[in-house]
Amino acid sequence: MRKIAIMLMSCMVLLLAACGGDKGNGNGASQSPAAGGESSASGNEVVTLKFYTNAKGEPGEPMMKIVEAFNAQSQNVKVEHVALVQNNDSREMLQKLDILAATDETVDVVLMNNEGYVLERAGNGMLYPLDEFYEANQIKPEDEFYRNPTYDGKHYAAMTDASFWYVALNENHLKEAGLEVPSFDWTWDDFREYAKKLKESKDGRFGAYFHTFGEYANLIAYTDFKNPQLKEDGTLLFDDPSFEYWFNLRRGMEVEDRSVRPLADVLAAKQHWATDFMNGTTSMMPIAMYSLDEAFLNEESYPRDFKITFAPLPRSSKDVEPGLTSIGGSFLTIHKNSKNKEAAFEFIKFATMEGAALSGRIPGWMKADGKAIVKELVGDKSNLVDVDALSATLFDDRVRTAGSSAISVPYQQQLKKVAEGGINKFMLDNTTFETARQFMLDEGQKVIKDNK
């Protein structure tokens, strides 16, 4: 009997310990930082988070610097990077992740390279909202980050790096054409005139370059509106006058001025976005900040004899106050199946706030010292880019975005494709704008209907 009593007492102790260690959050996820971990030397449990990105996971890559720093200072939570692709293709990575999520494979934290990807996955139920963790940590995200993707009133991602858009210009070409670096006052009409003068200053040169990215279907939609494809009442934006203006601007520059490489040639070449600008065959291009580490500071891949200077994105018209720009970026999210959501947020908080500057990119955290980071980022390569012009373009007091939209849908990327189809139809098929607009409205309505 004494042995039986001892056995019963032992069972009760184990049962109580098990219950005490399973403080859930009501969503099947453990809130204990020790959940799903392995023993450390001190006897504490260590959580190992599975972190998925489109990077290879090699030392020196931007997010890997943050992972290394987090692991060095964290005792109970460690991050393990999982590489799904070796070509940095974010679309391919997410496609593979979508398949992986249907299995029992552990997925804790996912890096997504634009807001549209976040909204798609939030809409299809892949992601877990961050609001409870923001509240527990007394964080008001709108006071912390440039962009805050929300779906159905909940926050689903924290911004890692802010990718400001600007116009990059070949400083030598500007001098040859007798042009000054544009100010915040210039408009897209001025941009067209600059492109003409830059082209005319030397035979065989284009004044400007537009790649195949969806933003080039109408950059004004990305600066002047909260949602580049939808109005705030949920209807399609494609009938806004800015689309007609932009489409005609693109055609005028290509057909009348011959100041840009024809879209048909760009599509046929299948070249990297940086090729024409970095080899000096074009003089300027609107582009986002990822251009710095991908090309502008990469002298090994892009040796050149010119310095790159910077200007703000042009205004849509003289009636619009200067300073509006598009700020994209990358975002960290928690997968709904993660069993370590609290630990996942611990890493996300570090990666997007106090540790964000370690990536060597401009953080999405507004309280970071952006100018100091730019100087550190450029380092001893100030012969390649104009540091003062870059800082002035990014951090002038007038710089602002249109803000986050009240309308968020999981099919945003599909609508972006519709806009791409519209500009391609207009430019390649030589249709009227009315035909292209009707195409976008019809195709956009199909997307909306198919997703209801």
Q: What is the DSSP string of 101-157?
A: TTTT----EEEESSHHHHHHHHHTT-EE--HHHHHHTT--HHHHBS---EETTEE--
Quote the pLDDT of residue 45: 87
Percent of the chain with pLDDT over 70: 90
The answer, yes or no, to whether residue 6 has pLDDT greater than 60, is no
Judge whether 68 and 44 are in contact, CB under 8 Å: no
Helix pair angle (241-251, 433-450), 10° resolution: 130
The answer, yes or no, to whether residue 361 has pLDDT greater than 90, is no
C-alpha atoms less than 13 angstroms from C-alpha of 18 in its C-beta half-sphere: 6
Tell me the pLDDT tens digit for each residue of 310-342.
999 999 999 999 999 999 899 999 999 999 999
Distances from the Cα of 301 to the Cα of 171, 176, 273, 277, 397, angstroms = 20, 25, 14, 13, 34
CA dist., res. 270 & res. 323, Å (int): 33
Domains within the chain, CATH numbers bracketed = 26-162+329-378 (3.40.190.10), 163-327+381-450 (3.40.190.10)
H-state helical runs in 225-365: 241-251, 263-269, 275-278, 291, 341-352
Percent of the chain with pLDDT over 90: 73
Q: Taking residues 368-372, what's their average pLDDT? A: 90
The answer, yes or no, to whether residue 228 has pLDDT greater than 90, is yes
Ramachandran area for residue 39 (φ above 0: left; ψ -120 to 50: alpha; else beta): beta
Quote the pLDDT of residue 26: 35
Distances from the Cα of 232 to the Cα of 213, 235, 305, 404, 407, angstroms = 24, 7, 47, 11, 6
The answer, yes or no, to whether residue 3 has pLDDT greater than 70, is no
Quote the pLDDT of residue 207: 98
Highest averaged pLDDT of the listed ranges 37-41, 271-275, 408-412: 271-275
Q: Taking residues 146-164, what's their average pLDDT? A: 93
Quote the pTM value. 0.80
CA dist., res. 446 & res. 433, Å (int): 20
Residue 126: Cβ within 10 Å count: 21
Tell me the pLDDT tens digit for each residue of 17-52.
333 333 333 333 333 333 344 433 344 789 999 999
More confident residue, 429 or 9: 429
Judge whether 263 and 210 are in contact, CB under 8 Å: yes
Judge whether 174 and 309 are in contact, CB under 8 Å: yes
Residues 6+ apart with CB under 8 A from 429: none
Token pair in block for residue 340:
């370590």
Q: At 55, is the pLDDT very low, low, confident or very high (cuts 50, 70, 90)?
A: confident
Quote the pLDDT of residue 407: 83
DSSP assignment string, 390-430 = HHHHHH-TT-B-----S---TTHHHHHHHHHHHHHHHHHS-
Q: At 405, is the pLDDT very low, low, confident or very high (cuts 50, 70, 90)?
A: confident
More confident residue, 452 or 117: 117
The answer, yes or no, to whether residue 15 has pLDDT greater than 60, is no
Quote the pLDDT of residue 97: 87
DSSP assignment string, 327-375 = EEEEEEEEETT-S-HHHHHHHHHHHHTTTGGGGSS-BSBTTS-HHHHHH
CA dist., res. 82 & res. 266, Å (int): 34
Q: At 408, is the pLDDT very low, low, confident or very high (cuts 50, 70, 90)?
A: confident
Judge whether 242 and 320 are in contact, CB under 8 Å: no
Residue of 360, 384, 356 lying closest to 368 (CA atoms): 356
Residues 6+ apart with CB under 8 A from 375: 387, 391
Q: Taking residues 149-170, what's their average pLDDT? A: 95
- Collapsed DSSP state (helix, strand, coil) of residue 442: helix
The answer, yes or no, to whether residue 7 has pLDDT greater than 70, is no
More confident residue, 7 or 209: 209
The answer, yes or no, to whether residue 299 has pLDDT greater than 50, is yes
The answer, yes or no, to whether residue 71 has pLDDT greater than 90, is yes
CA dist., res. 294 & res. 272, Å (int): 11
- Per DSSP, the chain holds a count of helices (H) and strands (E) of 18, 12
Quote the pLDDT of residue 35: 37
Quote the pLDDT of residue 389: 96
CA Rg value for the chain: 25
Amino acid at 294: E
Mean pLDDT, the chain, whole residue set: 88
The answer, yes or no, to whether residue 125 has pLDDT greater than 60, is yes
Token pair in block for residue 173:
């070409």
Strands 150-151 and 77-83: unpaired
Judge whether 169 and 186 are in contact, CB under 8 Å: no
Quote the pLDDT of residue 215: 95
Q: Taking residues 159-175, what's their average pLDDT? A: 96
C-alpha atoms less than 13 angstroms from C-alpha of 105 in its C-beta half-sphere: 15
CA dist., res. 144 & res. 28, Å (int): 29
